Amino acid sequence: MQMAIDDIIGNFELLDDWEDRYRYLIELGRTLEPLAKDAYSEANKVRGCASQVWLDTKVAQDDKGQKLLIFHGDSDAHIVRGLVALVLALYSGRAASTILETDAAPLFAELGLAQHLTPQRANGLRAMVERIKSEARAAV
């Protein structure tokens, strides 16, 4: 089951040490629901990530007719799986318009990710967010 972004932020704030935060990211990654076998496709692969990352997108409608985007994801690297879980907590299940209005950068800065991730992981994180925003633009 996907954790709420506010719960993740609260848990992150309880951890002072970056080793503990990395362990927490790895634990978050373990909470991801498994992807269907056919979701591990070239079409779902996120470009710009050093690790392999897949994002599968489903579009649904709420009772007001708004398009909601539901994302599932996975990676072949433990910490990156945690970053996938973090991004999904922020964006999955939200209206396409809300996704486009939500800037992840302030959250990543608040959590200290910008200064503690390798440049490759930071680029991959940006690539995941850009892929999600691209899916949201396509759904609008």
Catalytic site positions: 49
Specify whether the CB–CB gap between 2 and 89 falls below 8 A. Answer: yes
Residue type, 117: L
> Which of 113, 120, 134, 132 has its CA nearest to residue 52?
120
CA 115 from chain centre, in angstroms, equals 18
Specify whether the CB–CB gap between 71 and 89 falls below 8 A. Answer: no
Structure tokens at 37: 């076998």
